[in-house]
Amino acid sequence: MKAEAFVKALDNERIVAAIQKAEGRSRGEIRVHVAEGPVPDARAAAQADFPRLGMTDTAERNGVLILVAPESQTFAVVGDQGIDGRCPEDFWASVVETMREHFHAGRFDEGIVAAVERVGDELTRHFPRRPGETDRNELPDAISRG
């Protein structure tokens, strides 16, 4: 499936709402990015896109990128150093597996939302909102493409 068709098929409002809800409980940042064209190694692509998408620019280095490559039918979840070192060793792989189960059943929105929710729970565990402190949205919540 081409990236453009994949993005058009997604419920953008639902995914953005899930990102905003997850970020509303934590000081972390989550981005969903749809890769255009074939991606032989989604994890390597996510790591390469990470700085280009501004993911390393968060104050606490707690951004998480969910990359989906519809043409290659692959995806990856990558966290910045502030969150990566605090997660259980198999956490990112378990989020990918959650997505895989939904994607194989053709439930793309559900897969992305489930991944956002799991990432949001982990960010909340390690970077909860601080009472009385206003959190700044450091990265766009909209699904990006490229």
Identity of residue 82: G
Whether 82 maps to a domain, the answer reads yes
pLDDT digits over 3-56, tens only? 788 888 899 999 999 999 999 999 999 999 999 999 999 999 999 999 999 999
Report the half-sphere exposure of 102 (CA within 13 A, side-chain side).
15
Whether 43 maps to a domain, the answer reads yes
What is the gyration radius of the CA atoms in the chain, in angstroms?
Answer: 14
Whether 86 maps to a domain, the answer reads yes
Report the half-sphere exposure of 104 (CA within 13 A, side-chain side).
6
Whether 146 maps to a domain, the answer reads no
Whether 137 maps to a domain, the answer reads no
pLDDT digits over 109-143, tens only? 999 999 999 999 999 999 999 888 888 899 999 99
Q: Is 6 helix (H, G, I), strand (E, B) or coil?
A: helix
Output the pTM of the full model.
0.95
Closest to 84 in 3D by CA, of 112, 111, 46: 46
Domain that holds residue 38: 3-129
92: confidence class by pLDDT, cuts 50, 70, 90: very high
Whether 135 maps to a domain, the answer reads no
Number of structural domains (the chain) is 1
Whether 67 maps to a domain, the answer reads yes
CATH number, domain of 97, equals 3.10.310.50
Q: Retrieve residue 8's tokens.
A: 């058009």
Exposed, middle or buried: residue 47 (CB in 10 Å: 0-12, 13-18, 19+)?
Answer: middle
